[in-house]
């Protein structure tokens, strides 16, 4: 058990691992930047569904769908990017479901049919000037 842990730590401190993280590697830091999107969506799951933008959510669903396939088709395969877009797809679909539930599932007040206050005043009789 102890040798397993020490071997694992040795692998983390190895030169290959440092090279993977440190060199200007678009395969690592690019996908890490992309993780902001699913994490933002997961953080937004607890917030008011009013702040969900339907256009952006649908666009992100299609975007993540395509990039899941892209991540597995590039050479070398980028499983980190695949995981990122898979998580984003799940989170955006949840946001979409919350938005649809909020907009069409809960009764919304009909804001545009408010009676104007002038309609409730009694009509003033016209003053005869002649």
- Footprint of another protein on this chain (CB under 8 A)? 24, 26, 29-30, 33-34, 36-37, 39-41, 43-44, 47-48, 50-53, 55-56, 58-60, 62-63, 66-67, 69-70, 73-74
Q: How far is CA 25 from CA 4, 11, 13, 45, 121, in A?
A: 29, 19, 18, 32, 72
Q: Which is nearer to another protein, 8 or 36 (CB)?
A: 36
Closest approach of another protein to the CB of residue 79, in Å: 16
Q: Which is nearer to another protein, 12 or 70 (CB)?
A: 70
- Max Cα–Cα distance, the chain, nearest Å: 111
């Amino acid at each position: 058990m102890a040798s397993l842990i020490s071997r694992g730590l040795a692998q983390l401190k190895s030169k290959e691992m440092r090279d993977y993280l440190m060199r200007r590697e678009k395969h690592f830091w690019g996908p890490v930047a992309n993780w902001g999107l699913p994490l933002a969506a997961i953080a937004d799951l607890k917030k008011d569904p009013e702040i969900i933008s339907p256009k952006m959510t649908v666009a992100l669903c299609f975007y993540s769908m395509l990039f899941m396939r892209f991540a597995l088709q590039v050479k070398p395969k980028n499983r980190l990017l695949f995981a990122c877009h898979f998580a984003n797809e799940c989170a955006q679909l949840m946001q979409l479901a919350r938005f649809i539930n909020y907009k069409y599932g809960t009764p919304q007040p009909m804001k545009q049919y408010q009676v104007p206050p002038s309609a409730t005043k009694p009509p003033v009789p016209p003053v005869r000037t002649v």
